Every structure is written in structure tokens, then in C-alpha cells.
Amino acid sequence: MISIFYRQGADINVSQHETDFAKLGKENVLWIDLLSPTGDEKRATESFLGTEIQSRATAEEIESSSRFFENETAIFANTNFLSPAGDEMAMDPVSFTIAGDILTTLREIPLRSFTSLQRRIQARPAQFQSGWKIFLFIMDQRVDLDADIIELMSKETSQFSKRINQKEDINEDFLLDINQLQENAMFVRENIVDKQRLVTNLLKSGRTPDEYDPKLNVLLQDIGSLINHTNFTFERLEYLQDTVLGIINLDQNSIMKIFTFISLLLMPATLVASFYGMNVKLPMDGWRWAWVVLLGVMAIIVFTAWWIFHRKKML
């Protein structure tokens, strides 16, 4: 699907037909949004811009040279947009092409930030005079959404901390939940660092209009603060994970200590029972109340062993 946002007087209209390029001049077009475009839509856009648009495979590459580069006609930038997918995070690549003052975006799935922006453009056309302003608005909104995700992760981390302090459900599933949140934190940090690299490259680019440098610097500061929050959350999760592992080890050690103590208590009594189980002539052999005496001896040995352990504070 293609959406062409173009200026018509004081308003901004949208067309969803690539054939309308023939009626439009480059000075009127602000934004071309390609959502899972057909071959005809992509070729028509490339012909209108006079430059190629990156493929999905290129947008997903991780090399720095593929994430941001320029040629004589346009700036090409790729980044990922995060979206929660159950307990995990999905990373959806978005490719930006800025040719002159025209912004072109290529994506494969609907994104909430793009949908809200499209409504805002038509409601307040005076705020969007060029493709650069649309791009900056997308990035600013995306940083805000990333901040919301980090805030949510911070709240979940606090809930995990409270559960640990209250010793609620400290088990293997709890440890796996912390591990999943750690994975999400790594995804978020990777995504934010990618945007930091993108904004930094735009500031260094000679094709970026000087009037947008202050806004890019503000975005860079916001992204830097998000990276710090993400690092703190990740370190906190590592601490919680170590704490949970320590609690589980203490519980296991306590169980093993009980079993070991019981074994030690019964060992002397077992020795006496084994001794009198031998088929030889022994003291009190044939005496009617011998078993009572032996039980008493065993009880005394067990109590003595318990008293010694208790006195030495080994229990």
C-alpha cells in the first residue's frame, strides 16, 4: 500500500495511487509511506524520486555502512521499531529515504506511531512543511514510545524486587521471568543505540539542513538518557537474578543440611543396631529386657549428638 502526502494550498492531502505521481510536482510532495508495497508502487516511487529505495534485506543488515549512507541524491537510513509481542519484544525494520525535502518510508507492518502521525498531519498541516519535519516527528515520537517501554520494564523490575523481598514464588519460573525481562532490556538497548547512531550520523551529514540541528541535538540527549536508564535496569535485573540464585542455593543447602544432620544423628544408633545384629555371643544376650536397654542407649546417643550440635550452633 502506498500513501502519498502532498501539499495543496494550506492543506495536506493524501493519495493512495501511484499513478497520481504524474499529477504532482516534487515541490508539493512531503511524505511517501510504503507499507508492504507492490512492485509497481515501489518502481513508481523510485522513478518519481530519481533514486532507488532499499530492499527489506538491506534494511535488516547490521553493518554500519548499511544502516546509514548517502549518495548524490538522497540520504538512506535504517532503524528498528520495537513493539511488545506478549512477553517478548518484536523488532520491525523501517527504512527512511530523504531526497531533498521528500521523506520516503518503507515498512512491512502497520505501526501505531505512523498511524497517529498520518492523522496528525491532516489535522494540523501547518506543523509539517517538509519531509524533514515529518522525519523528526517520527523519531521524536519513537523515542517517547521507547521511553514508555523502559518505564514499563522498570515497573516490572520493581515488582520482581518486591516479590523477592516478600519471598513469594522464588522458583525456576520466577528466574525464567527475570531472564526474559533481561532479554527485553537488551533488545531495547540495542534499538536505542541504533537510533543514537542514526541521529549522530545525521548531525555529521552535510545534507542535513542546519535549522534542524537543535532538534537533532535534543533527540540525541533524550536517547542518551534512555540508554542510561536501560543500563541501570539491566544491572538491576542482574542483581535480582543473582539474589534469586542465592536464595535458591540457600534453600537447597538448608535441605541438604537437614538430611546430613539426620544421617549423623542416626549413624551411632545404626552402629549399635548393626553390632547387636551380628551372629555372635554379646552382652545381655538372652536377657528379656535387653531390647529396652539398647533402645535407651540409642536414644541417649541421638540426644547427646543433638545437644553437641546445638551447643556448637551447627543446627
180/178 Cα distance (integer angstroms):
5
Q: Scanning the structure block, which residue is given the C-alpha cell 495511487?
A: 17
308/217 Cα distance (integer angstroms):
71
Per-residue pLDDT, 258: 75
Same structural domain for residues 207 and 273?
Answer: no
- Residue that terminates a domain, selected from 202, 228, 249: 249
Same structural domain for residues 277 and 225?
Answer: no
Same structural domain for residues 225 and 165?
Answer: yes
Could you say which residues of the chain have pLDDT below 50? none
104/116 Cα distance (integer angstroms):
17
Same structural domain for residues 163 and 232?
Answer: yes
- Residue that terminates a domain, selected from 225, 249, 273: 249
Same structural domain for residues 167 and 262?
Answer: no
Per-residue pLDDT, 22: 81
Same structural domain for residues 195 and 117?
Answer: yes
Same structural domain for residues 14 and 132?
Answer: yes
CATH code at position 121: 3.30.460.20
- Look at the chain and report how many structural domains it folds into: 2
Same structural domain for residues 106 and 220?
Answer: yes
- The set of cell numbers assigned to 81 is 521499531
192/186 Cα distance (integer angstroms):
10
Same structural domain for residues 241 and 154?
Answer: yes
51/61 Cα distance (integer angstroms):
20
Please state the φ and ψ torsions of residue 220, each to the nearest 5 degrees.
-65, -40
Same structural domain for residues 126 and 268?
Answer: no
- The set of cell numbers assigned to 226 is 534512555
DSSP state letter for 10: T
CATH code at position 279: 1.20.58.340
35/38 Cα distance (integer angstroms):
9
Same structural domain for residues 217 and 266?
Answer: no
3-25 residue pLDDT tens: 888 888 778 888 888 887 788 88
Q: Residue 291 belongs to what domain range?
A: 252-311
- Residue that terminates a domain, selected from 229, 249, 269: 249
Same structural domain for residues 69 and 58?
Answer: yes
